Amino acid sequence: MRLHLLLLLALCGAGTTAAELSYSLRGNWSICNGNGSLELPGAVPGCVHSALFQQGLIQVYFRTVELIEEPIKGSPGLSFYFKINGFPIFLKGSNWIPADSFQDRVTSELLRLLLQSVVDANMNTLRVWGGGIYEQDEFYELCDELGIMVWQDFMFACALYPTDQGFLDSVTAEVAYQIKRLKSHPSIIIWSGNNENEEALMMNWYHISFTDRPIYIKDYVTLYVKNIRELVLAGDKSRPFITSSPTNGAETVAEAWVSQNPNSNYFGDVHFYDYISDCWNWKVFPKARFASEYGYQSWPSFSTLEKVSSTEDWSFNSKFSLHRQHHEGGNKQMLYQAGLHFKLPQSTDPLRTFKDTIYLTQVMQAQCVKTETEFYRRSRSEIVDQQGHTMGALYWQLNDIWQAPSWASLEYGGKWKMLHYFAQNFFAPLLPVGFENENTFYIYGVSDLHSDYSMTLSVRVHTWSSLEPVCSRVTERFVMKGGEAVCLYEEPVSELLRRCGNCTRESCVVSFYLSADHELLSPTNYHFLSSPKEAVGLCKAQITAIISQQGDIFVFDLETSAVAPFVWLDVGSIPGRFSDNGFLMTEKTRTILFYPWEPTSKNELEQSFHVTSLTDIY
């Protein structure tokens, strides 16, 4: 028998870490479970014959997954990270909700579009949220194919559930069926009993009297431990199981299945939301073992809203805007957070103000989630004040169920918000992360690769008033170790400003990137030395684009008259995505590619094209 291995998905690259091996076996053979030539853990009883492979009717997948909870030097508590095929993997991604309010509208094309956008943004994991649905078979098949790991919640969320026998019988049938249906998918790496119910119970979200709490705890353990957990252990021993998210993992088990603080930074995973504190201040965020939910809202683009609204709706104070906002106080929170660092739109034209505000909420959301995610990524290798060793960042949320303001990075229908373009960069396999602490500027190098690479770090400083850098520095060549986050650069801000001549915090901005032999290895990242609303010398940029076509791809050759923050390219309702967007443009020219999802033309793009940068809304 000749064995030919085709490695479909690698352990690194464009976010793919759920390794799928499709084995093409030639000759006459069979794979049998338990009594044949090759034993497959978790396989259904019986044999798989070569004829099925030759007809393309079946694939076999091999993947191991371990949830590592062990002591960490210099910190109380336990680690919480995943080993996939023996490699520690930092889980990068988002939370998945149903793709539509009406499931019969979720087509194969839409599923592939959304999941391909996951891969294209360098994500490797989706958490299927327990307040949604068990997804259709095709969702998991596509995740297997694309190398997207799945954290699978059972469908219990934000509530206290009964434990009468009729309800338990219903749960038993539901969970047993879903385990049997889904366990063959290598993309699924963990089962979770529920979303936030342990925290809801122990933090007393529902104002249970102290005397009644033991009854609710007993019901909780009955449902998730004595029922669901036992079904998972009986039906699928190949994956870890946790009772809830957030949870303290092994510590929750030690505390009789409910922890006093399920959202602890020292165990398990955390959910974190804070719309009032300054999201540019990284010290606001929890230095946790694993962040499985966090996020900020924004409004979807005008072209998405226009399909379901009328002229009278185009205001943040309209009945439409209030109806579509299902997070209490959400619209005010967005404007408050944006106002911390940006001037709010000032147009006298109501429609212009509405469009500019949409743009600014997307800028705010993207910058907030970027700051928080980069904090988690640079925390993977360090313990500070006994906290750290962060090994997962899954922001809330990936997709939208309708056209409305939400935490999503993909609008209803799949159009990329600015956040999703930012995610493509802040989830890059190699990334330099800049931040300040005690008036010192640091740059960490973060690597999710499994190999070490030799490279340099380039740091440039621009004034807002000039497209030429006022100073630059390139480090000596160093080796970036795979799977680590380390400090590469450290300089007091006062020295940096003095070294660069006439710079002040308000007049200059820093950019930096990793490279080797003149080849860019990372996205170009940046650090604002002050709030953009305090920027000195920032001019209104005149940005033009010449559009050309190369095969199925369109080329946008951009030229700017001035440094331009948050450059946003938009082609309205033409389906597709740009190679980058929402970027800081510090060079006079830049080339951006557009990948259409449906046939279009240069003429259509030219008619629909609109570019916005920050000063355009003032």
Q: What's the pLDDT tens digit per position in 469-494?
A: 999 999 999 999 999 999 999 999 99
Q: Tell me if 262 sits within 8 A of 268, measured CB to CB.
A: yes
Prediction pTM value: 0.91
Q: Which of 182, 177, 189, 187 is nearest to 239 (CA)?
A: 189
Q: Which pair of tokens denotes residue 396?
A: 């809330």
**Catalytic residue list contains 20:** no
> Which is the catalytic residue, given 20, 69, 198, 293?
293
Output DSSP code: residue 343.
P
Q: Which residues of 312-327 are buried (b: 16+ CB within 10 A; e: fewer)?
A: ebbebebebbeebbee
Identify the three-state secondary structure at position 189: strand
Domain architecture of the chain: domains with CATH: 88-299+359-426 (3.20.20.80), 431-534 (2.60.40.10), 543-617 (2.60.40.10)
Residue 557 — φ and ψ, nearest 5°?
-90, 110
What is the pLDDT at residue 55? 57
* Distances 467 to 170, 302, 501, 508 between C-alpha atoms, Å: 65, 31, 16, 11
Predicted confidence at residue 60, as pLDDT, reads: 66
346: tokens are 């000032």
> Are 124 and 149 spatial neighbours (Cβ–Cβ below 8 Å)?
yes
Distance CA 41, CA 456 (A): 45
Q: How much is the pLDDT for 578? A: 98
Q: How far apart are CA 255 and CA 251, in angstroms?
A: 6
End-to-end CA gap in the chain: 71
Q: Is 144 helix (H, G, I), strand (E, B) or coil?
A: helix
Which residue is catalytic, options 196, 198, 372, 411?
196
| Residue 52, pLDDT score | 46
Query: Is the separation of the CB atoms in 413 and 402 below 8 Å?
Result: no
The whole-number pLDDT of residue 31 equals 38
- Phi and psi at residue 170, in whole multiples of 5°? -65, -45
pLDDT number for residue 322: 94
Q: DSSP assignment, residue 268? A: S
Low-confidence ranges of the chain (pLDDT < 70): 1-60
Q: Measured between alpha carbons, how far is 36 from 550 in angstroms, rounded to an integer?
A: 53
Q: Give the pLDDT score at 398.
A: 98
- CA–CA separation, 145 vs 157, rounded Å? 29
Which of 182, 94, 106 has its CA nearest to residue 144?
Answer: 182
CA angle, residues 615, 347, 274, in degrees to nearest 5: 70
Nearest to 190 by CA among 121, 269, 100, 136: 269
Predicted confidence at residue 181, as pLDDT, reads 97
Q: Is 70 a catalytic residue?
A: no
Question: What does the alpha-carbon distance between residue 405 and residue 318 come to, in Å, rounded to a whole number?
Answer: 14
